[in-house]
Amino acid sequence: MVGANAVGAHRGEAGGGDPAAEVARGRRPSTTREAIARLALELFDRKGFDATTVDEIAAAVGISRRTFFRYYSSKRDVVWGEFDAELVRLRDQLMSAPQDEPMMDVVRRAVVATNRFGAGELDELRIRMGLISTVPALVAHSAVRYTEWCEVVADFVAGRVGGSPDDLGPQAVARAALGTAMAAFACWAQHDTDDLTGEVDGAFRLLADGFDEDRLRLWVHRDPGSGTPGA
Amino acid sequence: MVGANAVGAHRGEAGGGDPAAEVARGRRPSTTREAIARLALELFDRKGFDATTVDEIAAAVGISRRTFFRYYSSKRDVVWGEFDAELVRLRDQLMSAPQDEPMMDVVRRAVVATNRFGAGELDELRIRMGLISTVPALVAHSAVRYTEWCEVVADFVAGRVGGSPDDLGPQAVARAALGTAMAAFACWAQHDTDDLTGEVDGAFRLLADGFDEDRLRLWVHRDPGSGTPGA
DNA sequence: GACTTTATAGCACTCGATGCCAAAATGGAA
DNA sequence: TTCCATTTTGGCATCGAGTGCTATAAAGTC
């Protein structure tokens, strides 16, 4: 096979600090999730998501179609990268907040904190979010992934106000928060703004104000880059 | 063919009041969207959505697989019934509200008004909403349909506060409102409550309060059926 | 070199969805 | 009645995503 074992170096790494450090027996993986994602995103960006087949991605990576599905359970999942890890971070942020901090402040800070990205990541993130919020197949799949996000928030809210995370109160807060975050991401991916943090923060302040009509009007007619009216 | 022309009576109806009243030439449709939906929902309810194939639905209706796709562009769309018509009603409700009524009140009233159902429709609606909010493939597809819903709300908000419907303000309001409505529907479909209107109304009042922690606590610990605290 | 473990390739298959074309069914006109 | 235009239908071929199964390749161990 051509290009086999291109990732041979990846061996000794002990995952998440496993002290046993098992010496990794068996055949070496011929690629990584990251390598697949990089090539796939490039194809998506160039030819479009729907027009790119799994066969093409597999060919670009140098693996078989069947192997692709062992790394990602679906073509859509490639766009989501390591979303699971972000959910863990969100949960940590929410749970570690002081009890006397207002609930919606905690949510706002947690969402902002879990969505800080370095300048090097922003380009790829914009491609990802652009795809997620525009390609119908990915818009659809996003609902499934975001449901997990909502569960994390609903757990937190239920812990604050009582009741079950499945109850209307926690669910409404979680889904409204999700909608707010989605709006911020979609607008950021679409426009030229570089200030993702500011967009998210501002949107959540509007939410905490119950989308007060006057504050909203101020926000819409704000001077771009002048901060957050009503903060 | 067996059972051909079972819908022969459907002929002379002039659609939506078309004065020309063309006399309907050509072969008669052998079924209707409603008949397909009824049989399909029964199958979904009995065997599950994923376990029901399009071939089975077509066989139950007495049409070919190919014909099924002429009535519904996808298997998922069957669950959504006449959703397009509801969007028109929502837009009408929003646009016809008095200019001096507070924005979020208009949204709340419009959502409540477009979701009043007679007792006879509630059982089927519960099946529909239960499927939409639980089956992964339908949860996914819901995002696509709900995007259209958001556009209607965002148009209205942009008309109130200025700017484009694609801007962050209108988008955040629309998506947060959507999340609130989804939570109300999902909870209603899952629980024994019969009061869909009350759930929706209460959830939107919480939203307009910015999900104030104290009001939320009151709502969660409310006496079921005792009205809406904080209304 | 035989054995165990892990990753891979390839094949067959299901199912949703689409394009194309021939056939059936209907009303109207010659 | 016969022919024609119109509309719906059915069947076929095709594509692409996703899954189960099996044989094989590559690695470490004994």
Q: Could you list the protein residues whose CB lies below 7 A from any atom in strand C?
A: A 1, 25-31, 62-67, 70-71; B 1, 4-5, 8, 11, 23-28, 52-55, 65-66, 69, 73-76
- State whether A177 and B178 contact (CB < 8 Å): no
pLDDT tens-place string over residues B61-74: 999 999 999 999 99
| Arithmetic mean of pLDDT over chain B | 87
- List, in order, residues 6 or more apart from B231 with CB less than 8 Å away: B201, B202, B205
Whether A10 CB is under 7 Å from strand D: no
CB of B208 within 8 Å of a chain A CB? The answer is: yes
**Residue numbers in A 14-33, CB below 7 Å of strand D:** 23-28
Beta carbons of A190 and B168 less than 8 angstroms apart:
no
> Would you call A183 and B171 a contact, using CB atoms and an 8 Å cutoff?
yes
Six-digit token pair at A88? 């863990």
CA distance B91 to chain A (A): 19
**d(C-alpha B194, C-alpha A223), whole Å:** 47
What's the mean per-residue pLDDT of chain A?
87
* Three-state DSSP state, B7: coil
Give the angle A18-A72-A8 at the CA atoms, nearest 5°.
Answer: 55
pLDDT of residue B202: 94
Length of chain B: 231
Q: Considering only the beta carbons, identify the residue of A144, A161, A170 that sits closest to B136.
A: A144
In this predicted structure, the answer to whether residue B15 has a pLDDT above a threshold of 50 is: no
**CB atoms B143 and A147 under 8 Å:** no
Q: Which residue is nearest to nucleotide C15 (CA to C1')?
A: B53
Closest by Cβ to B176, choosing from A140, A163, A207: A207
The Cα A47–Cα A52 span in angstroms is 6
- Find out whether B140 and A143 touch, Cβ atoms under 8 Å: yes
| pLDDT for the residue numbered B85 | 86
Q: Tokens 């957050």, residue?
A: A228
pLDDT at A108: 97
What sign for the dihedral angle of Cα B61, B64, B65, B71? negative
Q: What is the pLDDT of residues B162-193, one digit of tens each?
A: 999 999 999 999 999 999 999 999 898 888 77
pLDDT confidence of residue A125: 87
Name the band, by pLDDT with cuts 50, 70 and 90, for residue B160: very high
User: CB count, 10 Å around CB of A2?
Assistant: 5
B198-221: average pLDDT: 94
CB distance B186 to B133 below 8 Å: yes
Q: What is the pTM of this model?
A: 0.84
Residue A25 CA distance to nucleotide D30 C1' (Å): 14
A131–B contact, CB cutoff 8 A:
no
Query: What is residue B220's predicted lDDT score, i.e. its pLDDT?
Result: 84
Query: How does pLDDT run across A103-113, given as a tens digit for each residue?
Result: 999 999 999 99
- Cα gap A60→A34, rounded to integer Å: 13
B196 by Cβ neighbours in 10 Å (0-12 / 13-18 / 19+) ranks as: buried
pLDDT surpassing 80 at residue B133: yes
Interface of A with B in 151-170 (CB under 8 A): 157, 160-163, 166-170
